[in-house]
Amino acid sequence: MASIATLKAKKGKGAPSFHRPPRMERDALGGWWAFAKRRWKFLLFCLALAALLEVFIFNLPFWQTLSSSPSFEILSSYNTQGLVMDSEKNAGTAGWNASGPVVTIEFSSQSPIRYVQLIGAPGAKDKAGMQFRVESFLPGSDDPHPSNYWQLLNPSCPSSLYINASGYKRIMVQVRTDAGKPFAFYGAVVNPKVPFDASPLRILLMLLIVILAVFLGPASPLYKTDLSLRSAFQISLITLSTLLLMAFYVGIWYIFEARRIYVGDAGGAPFELYDQLARALLHGHAWLNLPVNPQLAALKNPYDEAARNKITGGGTIFWDIAFFKGKYYCYFGVIPALLFFVPFSLLTGGRSLPTPDAVLVFVMLDVLSLTLLIFKAASSYLKNCSPAACLLVEWIAAIGCGLFFEDFQANTYAVPITCSIFFTFFGLWCWEMSKRTKRGLPHINSWWAFFGSLFMAANLGSRPQFEIASVLAIAVFWRSVFKDRSLFSKRSILPSIFICLPYFIVFPLLMAYNHARFGSPLNFGNDYQLTVYDVRHEKWPKIGTLSIVYYYLFEPASLQAAFPFVMEPLPDLQVWQWEGPWIGGLFSALTPAFFIAFLTPWAFSRRRKADTVSVLKDKGYGVYSVRRGIVSFMGFTLFWAILAVLADSYLAGLMQHYVSDFGVPLALIFAGGALALLSLSFSHPGYVQWGYLLRLFLFSALLYSLLFHFFACFVNAGSGDIFNQVPRLYFHVKNWFLFLD
């Protein structure tokens, strides 16, 4: 058995050589043991650092208040329910200053005040929440210095009532909420003893970072071995990494309680829209069995939001749903309902499949198909590619393509998007798998080609924007058509039929479905949406399109020094367009690693043609032909990305869900460019000196993206914000950083 100790680059001139023994590690346990011998010291260092952070940094308030002497102060001696915000009769109470919706409480002490704990009145509840900030007095000064941030608190969550006072002897705590609401606090403890908190969620998050650092850190020996899908050790490594990525998304889905939030019909938004569609199809009709408000049906133009808002009584008016000739329809693609919701109902005797569960299943399939595609492409086209490079690129692509947000807000909108991501990745993998050799000649396997086209064609019935990906077939099969004639020739009639057949099956069926609903084969129902504007009559100015493109791609992250560290930026769209919750651009905020995509033209330029072909495998056409095929694939993928971002910017406005439409093609471009550069850094002497910096940048960008997306989930924006929906989780994570001023 070969030892991973031999993975170290050989000394000498030129580029380091990969470890390529005649037989790769066939014994998976032996491979893991050899890897452990190389990385156990670094693993212990990372675990020790994580333990120090857990015990002494995140629990610093516990150590700071270990020897403190708490003192209790009554805030309202005559009203156990506390003051009422903006109440004149309570404004003159001693020690208080109630002005507008803000109550200011002053605390003084002979010793420094490190922390203050507010004590809520029994049964105090405040669904809308409150905010606070601290004003500090410097020694010898009567001018308060307020903190820069208003922070959230909730009287019903005891963990939210600890306030960092920064160690001043005189402070003022300002609390604000809506006017007329009870103040809901009857006392406060100055310098309380903060309990020790070993957070399982925080420990798991740090363990994930440790695992990624050990295996994918810039100094990992896995970067110095050649990728081999026949190695038992590498297969087990890829499998465990894929399972870990799946477990990560399951954890995000679980802790943010998507299954509880996005169910039912909240405020007229039918989160179970796909279940309604499945039931309609099982009953033999396309319209949804939702109660129709008679006043809505009587409107001359029911798509006018102002006219709908004037309706009073008569029942719920559902929105973000198609309404045509007095009936509700689902304008989202029908294929996810046929794929999961209908079979689930049939197999379970009519039970409903919760929408978040369907999203989670699709996310798991997305991760699996992305793994298959990346490793298939790397093993087919690159000579000097390592398993660590593929795994690093996979993790970044899985976060950056928009999958994180779809998993977090696992609602109706996420169903067709995550479904089409799976169709696209899996369809591309099937197309690559169809390329075979038969009797020494290039050959296209008919069934692999058929299923690849079937999945790609199915995008039209899920998320139509992803149907643009079918254009990639031109690059994938260019040589098969024009070089070796393994497609569309006399000797390839059957594969040619099979690769086209799905489009002639899926498209007519979807057109017939559209005609049955709206009387037109090309109308998917978008014109009949009950949304914030009249889609049929209101056309947004084209001048606003480029502004939204900027926000989608390059809007900088809005960061702050207080939890959740991420703020929702305030885009200035100049002209009115639909604007949903937003946290920043794809390149500049969500996934900085995608900037590597801008190096792709440089890496594949004519001046570096000889360099890039040195890492490519000869597929029987010559390495220069392989290079042209990769360049053309990226060119068509860029066309897909540009068309998708322009279409979304002009037709849909600004919304976080739409990032996946162009995030997926940009992830593919990034993957191709990053894998080529990582391979060059180990095979070409001119790039070796930049290899470590490249790996360090990509790994750092991965950690940034993970943490940015995680904390962005706590931004107080949108209908699914965690502060209102899961306050105990919000304040549990907020207290991780109680030690910060």
b/e sequence 355-390, b meaning 16+ C-beta within 10 Å: bbbbbbbbbbbbbbbbbbbbbbbbbebbbbbbbbbb
Confidence of residue 485 (pLDDT cuts 50, 70, 90): confident
Summarize pLDDT for 254-268 with one digit per residue, the tens.
999 888 887 666 566
Residue 40, phi then psi, degrees to nearest 5: -70, -35
Report how far residue 47's alpha carbon sits from residue 515's, in angstroms, rounded to the nearest whole number. Answer: 61
Judged by DSSP in three states, 12 sits in: coil
Summarize pLDDT for 636-655 with one digit per residue, the tens.
999 999 999 999 988 888 88
Give residue 240's identity as a one-letter amino acid code.
L
**pLDDT above 90 (res 539):** no
- Across the range 304-309, mean pLDDT stands at 85
Q: Which of 416, 529, 498 is nearest to 462 (CA)?
A: 416
**pLDDT above 50 (res 11):** no
Confidence of residue 10 (pLDDT cuts 50, 70, 90): very low
Average pLDDT score over the chain: 86
List of long-range contacts for 701-704, beta carbons under 8 Å, 24+ apart: 701/396, 701/591, 701/592, 701/593, 702/212, 702/216, 702/392, 702/395, 702/396, 702/399, 702/593, 703/209, 703/212, 704/592
Q: Which of 648, 639, 656 is nearest to 585 (CA)?
A: 656
538 or 387: which leads in pLDDT: 387
- Across the range 382-389, mean pLDDT stands at 91
311 or 642: which leads in pLDDT: 642
Pairing mode, if any, of strands 151-153 and 130-137? antiparallel
Q: Which of 703, 636, 664 is nearest to 470 (CA)?
A: 636
Judged by DSSP in three states, 645 sits in: helix
Which pLDDT score is estimated for 76?
A: 61
Q: Lowest-pLDDT range, 393-402, 570-579, 583-592?
A: 570-579
Give residue 278's identity as a one-letter amino acid code.
A
- Across the range 275-285, mean pLDDT stands at 93
Q: Lowest-pLDDT range, 236-245, 352-361, 606-615?
A: 606-615
Structural domains in the chain, sorted by start: 67-195 (2.60.120), 240-254+355-727 (no CATH), 262-347 (no CATH)
Residue 135, phi then psi, degrees to nearest 5: -110, 130
**pLDDT above 50 (res 516):** yes
